Structure 1
Amino acid sequence: MNTNPVWIDDRRFEVMNLREFTVGAPGQERRAVAFDFKVTHDDYHDVTTLLYRGTFRVRVPQIGFEQVADIHNYSTSLDNLYDQGAVGDYHLELAERR
């Protein structure tokens, strides 16, 4: 599995399927990144608490993305990771804040 590091505030995530794109109307485009990552039962509370904030300092060294960003799109395979041993697949898209 090929992963890349992404920092959301001070938390490091090992992500897969990293891609960069733009969002917004022509002439008002904003940089955005999308990626997938795994969340375990043990990390569920901390990750969801972080994501509920909605705005973050995001660093993706591999593509030179370092921005304050908002959640543009978000999905998960599970909405409850309270069961011991559960692992969820998360997809997150973050767009730079203007």
Structure 2
Amino acid sequence: MVEEIILNDTSIHVDHYKEETDNGLHNIIIGFKVTSEKYHDITTLLYEGVFDVKVPDRGLAFRGKIQQYSTSITNLYEKEQVGDFTLSLREVKN
């Protein structure tokens, strides 16, 4: 079971993980929780759009780009809020 992914040296604990390959390229879909305290850091990271992706539990590493991104809440600046994020990353060729 995958419990963590790393995007550009930022560790993210995942609640859901799905891995696929398409034409030899990896695609992962993850679900994770973001607290109001981490919201700014995570959204700033996600705005980068392309990442060094590592999945330690699978021994997987690739360069990936966001294909789809959604959240259950749009304003996590209010204290003690938690949002559910879903992120789909597709491998890009170097």
TM, length-normalised to structure 1: 0.87
Kindly provide the CA deviation profile for residues 6-59 of structure 1, in whole angstroms up to 9, marking residues without a partner as x. Answer: 101111111022110134xxxx44211111100000000010000001000010
Q: Match of 1:49?
A: 44
Counterpart among 51, 76, 91 of residue 81 in structure 1: 76
Unaligned runs of 5+ in 2: none
Q: Tell me, yes or no, if the aligned pair for 2:2 and 2:55 is still in contact at 8 Å.
A: no
Name the CA distance, whole Å, in 1 between partners of 2:10 and 2:82: 18
CA RMSD of aligned residues (A): 1.5
Which residue in the other structure is 2:12 paired with? 13
Cα distance in 1 between the residues matched to 2:29 and 2:58: 12
Distance 2:82 2:66 in 1: 22
Find the aligned partners of 2:2 and 2:57 in 1 and give their Cα distance.
Answer: 11
Would the aligned equivalents of 2:5 and 2:13 in 1 still touch at CA under 8 Å? yes
CA contact (8 A) 2:2 2:57 kept: no
In the alignment, is residue 61 of structure 1 matched against residue 60 of structure 2? Answer: no
SS at match of 2:15: strand
Amino acid at match of 1:18: Y
Residue 64 of structure 1 and its aligned partner are, at CA, apart by 2.4
Unaligned runs of 5+ in 1: none
Q: Percent identity?
A: 39
What is the DSSP-based 3-state SS (H/G/I as helix, E as strand, rest coil) of the residue aligned with 1:79?
Answer: coil
